[in-house]
Amino acid sequence: MKKKKLPLREIKFAKTKLALLDAALARLPEKPFDEITLGDICAAAEVSYATFFNYFGKKSDLLIYFIQLWSIEVSHHARGTAKEAGGLKAIESIFEYTARQCEKFPEIMGEIVSFLARRREKEVSLPAPLTGAEKRLRFPDIADFKGLAEMGLESLFPSHLETAIRKGELPRRTNVQAMVLALAAIFQGVPVSMGPNGAKNYAAAYRYQLRLLWAGARAAAKEDLS
């Protein structure tokens, strides 16, 4: 299927928005996100300070934007796994993929976990949906974006849990909402507990915690029936 040609204005907008994010990410090995200035980001992206606010309301919106893009990437990865191996393997692949990314960029996970913790303290408005240009420029190898999650863990896990229940990988009485909460706790808790210096061990830690969670869900279902 031939892709529809994108408007030039939309392409330019997407390129600048992505450049601003990449400028911020490139500085994370040097200093924490809170210490990176908008001036540093704008200079690296070759845009004016005022131009930044045509794309983002504030600096922390860059982290939300990163989460949106990450969600697309990891959702695509998990979708391929789900077709071949089922719901639980799809969820496990999300953690494996994340662990590999953390090995390359150990600083980013810490910043995301810190941001998510702060976000709980106050209302955060939902970001604008990603445009077709943003998706295609960032992920040129993805042919079909339909059905791919765009906003974090809450949008990634439920469908795979439901698949696991439907296929008998988890008991029918499994509480999906409770499982999403547990998965989010594992996802954020391992990096917090191990720190960025433990990034090379995230994958093994995630695998162990997930085995415990699956076993616990099955045991809980048996107790409910006894």
> Residue 115 and residue 70: Cα distance in Å, rounded?
15
Express as a percent the part of the chain with pLDDT over 90: 50
Residue 21 in any domain: the answer is: no
Residue 190 in any domain: the answer is: yes
Residue 194 has pLDDT above 60, yes or no: yes
Residue 34 in any domain: the answer is: no
Range of the domain at 192: 60-225
Residue 7 in any domain: the answer is: no
Torsion angle of C-alpha atoms 132, 56, 42, 29, degrees rounded to 10: -90
Express as a percent the part of the chain with pLDDT over 70: 91
Residue 51 in any domain: the answer is: no
Residue 118 in any domain: the answer is: yes
Q: Cβ distance 64 to 139 under 8 Å?
A: no
Residue 31 in any domain: the answer is: no
pLDDT digits (tens, 9 = 90+) for 151-172: 666 778 998 999 999 999 999 9
- Report the predicted TM-score, pTM, of the whole model to 2 decimal places: 0.82
> Residue 57 and residue 42: Cα distance in Å, rounded?
14
Residue 50 in any domain: the answer is: no
For the chain, the domain total comes to 1
